[in-house]
A = this chain, B = another copy of it.
Amino acid sequence: MAVDTGVEVEKRKKRKPNVFDVARVAGVSQTTVSFVLNGSTTPRISDATTKRVLAAVEQLGYRRNTLARSLAHGKTMTVGMVLSSLDDDFHGVILRTCQERLDEQGYQLLYVQAASGSAREALMVQFLLEHRVDAVICFAHEYSTYIVPEWLSGMRDEGVPGVMIDSTRFASMIDSVGSDDIDGMYKAMKHLYDLGHRRIALVSDNWQPDLVPDRISGYDLAIERLGIDYNVQVGSDRRMNDIEKSAEMARLLDGPEPPTAFVTYNDYTFEYFLMNYAGTRFRVPEDVSLVGYGNLYLSRFAKLTSVGQRPEEIGRVAAECVLARLKNPDRPLRKVEIETELVVRSSTAPPRPVS
């Protein structure tokens, strides 16, 4: 490596200082600088030398170049994460706990954003891979079906570990961590059953036949296990938006044999109902009980009983999976289903006695 002798001065102004410069100023070799900077213990560097190097670093305003560093030793110590939505606390909590765990091992989470299932999502995974992240974490989503397998196999080919969050649909291809949603929905149903409800309707969705399928089959399972003779699902037969679902809920409540409670696969499905029917046409929980899903902000604000998915656990376990596979790429595939917890608030009460 030829150190410019003549142009040196000119270049000095723009070029950022590198290990070599530090070495020269400190009067040591590159290697020594590198060892000091990386706290290498193998060849123990004398305190005096260390001090001189550090001083040179300070003086020059040297900042190490991660690009070169990673290029050289083949590891970036970063984990890429493709984020779809940044709008809710669910994702926020997962991110935080995931990051915390990764931090402990010196890994840094790097996010990029892309709507789930969009072409951009696949692009962003490419991007992360090109940046040689050591692993990729991705949120599964209803729309993912089409696109996921494509980049999933891409990652496999390159030996980059990945974990899928929030769904275990791809658990046969990749480490996955999600919630035990069948049980979660069962808990919701059991809670209402125990309060005395026997006509519990589900606010569902047919947007994707396999959207949050566990939550929906949890409903059927509960019906069966609890020996209930009432199975009404709003929005499972045709595509409906939340406004239409609310109207249908109201229609049901005004009809014969009305449900005394609703469960849903997502807190926000109730949003419109809460905004425009609850408290005016129907009182909650006097006229109808409501159990949401997700324990998201809305359920806290609206004091909704809801099934919590424990995002803090999801994030932590996802990090754990990544770390474990990074350590041992050949470990068997892992599929984790975090147990949910029912958070009881004031949207549930015993049903009104039949009038």
Contact = CB atoms under 8 A, between A and B. Distances in A.
A260 to B, nearest CB: 23
A120 to B, nearest CB: 9
A130 B275 contact: no
B275 A132 contact: no
Interface stretch (A43-51, A60-68, A203-211): A60-68
Contact of A130 (B63, B92, B301): B63
Interface in A1-52: 1-3, 14, 16, 42
Given A130-B66, A131-B67, A95 B86 contact: yes
A279 interface: yes
Given A68-B71, A298-B301, A92 B87 contact: yes
Contacts of A130: 63-66
A230 interface: no
A71 B67 contact: yes
B108 A127 contact: yes
A89 interface: yes
Interface string A270-314: 010011000100000000000000000110011100000000000
A257 interface: no
List the 6 closest pairs (A to B, CB-CB), nearest first.
Answer: A111-B111, A86-B92, A87-B92, A66-B130, A67-B71, A87-B89
Interface of A: 1-3, 14, 16, 42, 61, 63-68, 70-71, 73, 76, 83, 85-89, 91-92, 95-96, 99, 108-113, 126-127, 129-132, 157-159, 271, 274-275, 279, 297-298, 301-303
Nearest to A2: B42
Contact of A71 (B63, B71, B274): B71
Nearest to A276: B303
Contact of A67 (B70, B95, B271): B70
Contact of A85 (B2, B92, B99): B92
Contacts of A42: 2
Given A130-B65, A298-B301, A96 B113 contact: yes
A87 B91 CA distance: 8
B61 A65 contact: no
Contacts of A92: 85-87
Contacts of A68: 71
A275 to B, nearest CB: 6
Contacts of A63: 126, 129-130, 158
Contacts of A158: 16, 61, 63
